[in-house]
Structure 1
Amino acid sequence: MDSKFHAFMFPWFSFGHMIPFLHLANKLAEKGHRVTFLVPKKAQKQLEPHNLFPESIVFHPLTVPHVDGLPVGAETTSDISISMDNLLSEAFDLTRDQVEAAVRTLKPDLIFFDFAHWIPELAKQHMIKNVSYMIVSATAIAHTLVPGGALGVPPPGYPSSKVLFRENDAHTLVTLSIFYERLYHQLTTGLKSCDVIALRTCNEIEGKFCDYISRQYNKKVLLTGPLLPELDTSKPLEEHWSQFLRKFPPGSVVFCALGSQIVLEKDQFQELCLGMELTGLPFLIAVKPPRGSSTVQEALPEGFEERVKERGVVWGGWVQQPLILSHPSVGCFVSHCGPGAIWECLMNDVQMAFIPFLGDQVLFTRLMTEEFQVSVEVLREKTGWFSKESSRDAIKSVMDKDSELGKLVRSNHTKLKEVLVSPGLLDGYVDNFVEALVDLINV
């Protein structure tokens, strides 16, 4: 039996999903397998630099059908506001004919999917195995996607009572509810119907949640590990960032990045900037311009640039996040707690302060701050907003080397990192995962 296979990958049209799928594709290609990656046409250019094996990973562009209400030319979540996710989801489902045509022509051995709940049915018709590959945390799935579960309410016998939504998380539930009903249906249908569930995590962090999901769905759960790409040393940090960071002592700079989809209200953006200023520490903020502003500069608080010009930068474009995080001058990462960002943090030595915005981010934040105690959370008001004082206090609490909390999270983070970087651990996950896929195909 041939142990090399051809896999299709069909992730949700969001770079936060497509890039982790591509990281997995790179690992499969490294082991000699072929991958056809189904993507919206425009997204292909942005994904190509992440394709380390272009001879083995081929992009198959899809035309995103127009749906009333969706901006013309919108293909991914980066092109729309969160409130339009429902419309993009409709367009995503309308690509089914194109996906089926590709399956019929190219005859893959298996298909990886996440939001496309109809893939298992399509795959079975064509005698192909399918894998529901979830890039969000197992914690979030256990809380929100177990059969018959309610959003944010742990079912009886839940493996941890500490990781819960709180009253002040109402803003995340409102944000989620726009999309949640459709999303819940898509994801639970996919999880129930797939041949096997795959999660981007490891037992050392979320083992009990993975076991719980396996029991709830009565399915095998395979783990890939975090699948972080190795730092690309062939492309050094851009000179202007390198120049800025090297001005400061080791471990002194606060770096804040909130992912590709979070767009703050102008008032909240200004609170974030002022909170950074109040720390008295050097900082780099990389966020999208706030709602209603075309640049970050036009939205800055009055007099802010002048006051922080020697030590602070606010940037509205893309930055080389992994390279900045690994820079010796960076000492703290303020993040939205997206799954990829968490893994990047855990594998670095930076202190972590989280401002979660969506439900899965809230849950992983609680796991990191309350169970593992490797980070702090920026506290929110009852309105769901955070203040400049709360962001300052969170950052200062972990950056102060003499504070009890700073010592605790630093020590816990060091211990956890040692486990994760122990020789062979992460490669072992990939080897076992690929082996299990070969077994699945050859059954």
Structure 2
Amino acid sequence: MAEFAEVFLSHGYDVTMVIVPPPFKSSALGASQVEQIATANPSISFHVLPPIPAPDFASSPKHPFLLMLQMLRQYNDKLEGFLHSIPAYMFYVDAIDVAAKLGVPAYTFVPSGASSLAVVTQLPTLLAGRQAGLEELGDTPLEFLGVPPMPASHLIAELLAHPEEEKCKTMVTIFERGMDSRGVLVNTFESLESQAVRAFRDPLCVPGKVLPPVYCIGPLVSGGARNGEETDRHECLTWLDAQPERSVVFLCFGSMGTFSVGQLKEIAIGLEKSGQRFLWVVRVPGNINDPKRLLEKPCEPDLDALLPEGFLERTKDRGLVVKSWAPQVDVLNHPATSAFVTHCGWNSIMEGVMTGIPMLCWPLYAEQKMNKIFMTEDMGVGVEMEGYRTGFIKDEEVEAKVRLVMESNKEGRELQARMVARKKEAEAALEVGGSSHAAFVQFLLDVENLEEQLAR
């Protein structure tokens, strides 16, 4: 959202970001996160709504996802009060009911890509009237406009088993309502996902419904360290400074990506056997499908206990293992970095594309398996880590795929060439007159015209 706000600022607009205070501290969220983002973005005004009592996440029988949505709805009155208190005209996402009540046009910002948006936009029609879930279909390919055939197993897990459950119904409603706004701004660029973008204009996408315009305004990617942050430079960047150019494979799996102890050991063995330099971010093992993991107090991993005996000592001259977190954008932009093993989160994909770094795809949860299909079969920016479907990747696969992207073989060179081309496309899209710049300008014009119509 902060990167999105920077686009408005670059066009001369003032931006106020209204935030619901986090209801709990966790490994993924924290009350200090707002302060950190505000400090790093002094040009943006931040307004944190007055807190309301948080649901009892720990003991409630309801899924935390549903409790969170229930809490957000309760903030609508406070959001409405804030909007009444300011004279400025503003745009915001979510809370479509508040927008309608105040007569303010609401637009949807989608921080993920157009391809996954195309799938979830078409999902309600697919699920309508189904008594059974999609789990029984296994890897049977499903056809959606704008994207390659999608294995049923790769859809968001909560939609597969029980379409009649409240959580599934709530998610479907969110997908439907997200396209009920005046327009949808997507964190992508058109040439990367051109087929998906065209699908939204096809009347067959959602039969009987005219979808709002979709504006591709990305990639929205952080520039890395700024505003004096170099004084607190992470140790891994100093280590990268000492490595040869384009010699290091970077393994990082997002803020919530975790593995079993057994899987961590397989990764370590594969990296050691590959003989390649590596920078690896390791988090405490946990069940990635347990929503209550967010409630756990964050702690640092014990690397000696998690990794094979002697691994750190044997690889100390060519590898570095970082606990819990690394400055991903800065690492990907570093001259020593040559490849990226990623969980296929959309921000990570965009950061990989913007740096031209070949990616090895290891999806873990949410829409990441869908993203993997788009990356390998449509965009051509990544290579699959075989075994992700079963939830376990062997050391031989880690070794083979790391060698593929790090050594100068035919497939690796072709992937690198595609990444260079995609990087140039992304940069061109963001330039003045480029597709993403033009899309945002068109969005501003459309809003201005709409405002004039409403004023009449």
Q: TM-score range by the shorter chain?
A: 0.7 to 0.9
Q: Distance in 1 between matches of 2:157 and 2:105?
A: 34
Q: Are residues 1:378 and 2:372 paired?
A: no
CA contact (8 A) 1:266 1:291 kept: no
Q: 1:270 to 1:442 in 2, by over 3 A?
A: farther
Q: CA deviation at 1:228?
A: 2.0
Q: Are residues 1:143 and 2:119 paired?
A: yes
> For 2:109, which of 133, 141, 163 is the aligned residue?
133
What does 1:37-48 align with in structure 2 at a 5 Å threshold? Answer: 37-41=17-21, 42=31, 43-48=33-38
Q: Distance in 2 between matches of 1:143 and 1:279?
A: 37
Q: Distance in 1 between matches of 2:83 and 2:196?
A: 33
Q: Which amino acid aligns with 1:27?
A: V
- Match for residue 300 of structure 2? 295
What does 1:4-153 align with in structure 2 at a 5 Å threshold? Answer: 21-41=1-21, 42=31, 43-54=33-44, 57-63=45-51, 65-70=53-58, 84-106=64-86, 109-113=89-93, 116=94, 119-146=95-122, 147-150=124-127
> For 2:401, which of 394, 407, 416 is the aligned residue?
394
Q: CA deviation at 1:253?
A: 0.5
Q: 1:275 to 1:295 in 2, by over 3 A?
A: farther
Q: Are residues 1:211 and 2:231 paired?
A: no
Q: Distance in 2 between matches of 1:434 and 1:428?
A: 10
Q: Distance in 1 between matches of 2:145 and 2:83?
A: 39
CA contact (8 A) 1:165 1:362 kept: no
Q: CA deviation at 1:272?
A: 2.9
TM-score when scaled to structure 1? 0.81
Question: Which digits, 9 at most, give the CA deviation of each residue in 1:273-306, with x for residues without a partner?
Answer: 3332232111111243222994222422332222
Q: Distance in 2 between matches of 1:271 and 1:175?
A: 31
- Match for residue 165 of structure 1? 151
Q: 1:428 to 1:367 in 2, by over 3 A?
A: same
Q: CA deviation at 1:241?
A: 2.2
Q: CA deviation at 1:165?
A: 2.5
Q: Distance in 1 between matches of 2:283 and 2:70?
A: 26
Q: Which amino acid aligns with 1:442?
A: E
Q: Secondary structure at the match of 1:222?
A: strand
CA contact (8 A) 1:264 1:290 kept: yes
Q: Are residues 1:258 and 2:253 paired?
A: yes
Question: Which digits, 9 at most, give the CA deviation of each residue in 1:199-255, with x for residues without a partner?
Answer: 111211112212313443512222222122334454338263233112221111011
Q: CA deviation at 1:138?
A: 1.2
> For 1:320, which of 327, 338, 359 is the aligned residue?
327
- Match for residue 18 of structure 1? none
Query: Which runs of 5 or more residues in structure 2 are unaligned?
Result: 22-30, 128-133, 288-297
Q: Distance in 1 between matches of 2:312 and 2:149?
A: 39
Q: Distance in 2 between matches of 1:154 and 1:91?
A: 37
- Match for residue 181 of structure 2? 194
Q: Secondary structure at the match of 1:314?
A: strand
Q: Secondary structure at the match of 1:347?
A: helix
Q: Secondary structure at the match of 1:319?
A: coil
CA contact (8 A) 1:143 1:154 kept: no
The size of the alignment, in residue pairs, is 402
> For 1:431, which of 441, 452, 455 is the aligned residue?
441
Q: Which amino acid aligns with 2:48?
A: H
Q: 1:304 to 1:391 in 2, by over 3 A?
A: same
Q: Are residues 1:408 and 2:405 paired?
A: no
Q: Secondary structure at the match of 1:264?
A: coil
Q: 1:180 to 1:436 in 2, by over 3 A?
A: same
Q: Secondary structure at the match of 1:269?
A: helix
CA contact (8 A) 2:115 2:146 kept: no
- Match for residue 338 of structure 1? 345
Q: Distance in 2 between matches of 1:430 and 1:252?
A: 37
Q: Are residues 1:244 and 2:231 paired?
A: no
Percent of pairs with identical residues: 21
CA contact (8 A) 1:159 1:208 kept: yes
Q: Which amino acid aligns with 1:102?
A: F
Q: Distance in 1 between matches of 2:352 and 2:50?
A: 33
- Match for residue 4 of structure 1? none
Q: Distance in 2 between matches of 1:201 and 1:364?
A: 13
Q: Secondary structure at the match of 1:139?
A: helix
| More off after superposition, 125-134 vs 210-219 | 210-219
CA contact (8 A) 1:36 1:60 kept: no
CA contact (8 A) 1:264 1:291 kept: yes
Q: Secondary structure at the match of 1:441?
A: helix
Q: Please tell me the root mean square deviation across aligned C-alpha atoms, in Å.
A: 2.9
Q: Distance in 2 between matches of 1:350 and 1:261?
A: 22
Q: Which amino acid aligns with 1:145?
A: T
Query: Which runs of 5 or more residues in structure 1 are unaligned?
Result: 1-20, 73-82
Q: 1:379 to 1:175 in 2, by over 3 A?
A: farther
Q: Are residues 1:440 and 2:445 paired?
A: no
CA contact (8 A) 1:331 1:350 kept: yes
Q: Distance in 2 between matches of 1:405 and 1:245?
A: 26
Q: Distance in 2 between matches of 1:40 and 1:102?
A: 12
Q: 1:89 to 1:421 in 2, by over 3 A?
A: same
Q: Secondary structure at the match of 2:355?
A: coil
